[in-house]
Amino acid sequence: MVTDLIRRAEDWIAGDPDPQTRSELQALIDTSEIEELEARLDQSLSFGTAGIRGEVGAGPNRMNRAVVIRTTSGLASYLIGEHNSVPERPVVVGFDARPTSRQFAEDTSGVLAAAGISVVFFPDFAPTPLVAFAAKHLQAAAAVVVTASHNPPADNGYKVYANNAAQIIPPVDGDIASAIDLAGPAREVARVESAFAGGSPLVSPVPDDILDRYWEQVNASRPSPIHSDMTVVYTPMHGVGGQVIEEVFHRAGHSGLITVPLQAQPDGTFPTVAFPNPEEKGALDLATELAEQVDADLIIANDPDADRLAIVVPHAGAWRPLTGNEIGVLLGNYILQHASGEPRPIVMNSIVSSPMLGQIAEARGALHEVTLTGFKWIANAAMALEALGKGRFVFGYEEALGYSVGSTVRDKDGISAALVFCDLVAGLRSEGRTVLDQLNDLWQEFGLWVSAQHSIVRPGAEGMIAIQSAVAALAANPPGTLGAYEIDAVTDFSVGADKRPMWLGAQALVELSLGDQGRILVRPSGTEPKLKIYVDLRGDAGTEPQKRHTELSDSSAQLAKVFAQTLSI
The Cα 252–Cα 244 span in angstroms is 12
Measure the CA angle with vertex 137, ends 131 and 138; round to 5°: 90
| Alpha helical stretches, state H, 237-355 | 242-252, 285-294, 324-337
Q: Helix or strand or coil: residue 254? A: strand
Hey, which residues does 258 pair with through a beta bridge?
233
Question: Rg for the chain (alpha carbons), in Å?
Answer: 24
Hey, which residues does 456 pair with through a beta bridge?
531
Helix (H) / strand (E) element for 37: namely helix 34-41
What is the distance in angstroms between the CA of the first residue and the CA of the last residue of the chain? 31
Catalytic residue among 77, 149, 221, 228: 149
The Cα 332–Cα 336 span in angstroms is 6
The Cα 354–Cα 541 span in angstroms is 16
CB 179 within 8 A of CB 78: yes
SS (H, E, C) 375-389: HHHHHHHHHHHHHCC
Distances (CA, A) of 411 to 106, 156, 375: 24, 19, 6
Residue 553 designated active-site:
no
**How big is the chain, counted in residues?**
569
Q: Which residues are annotated as catalytic?
A: 149
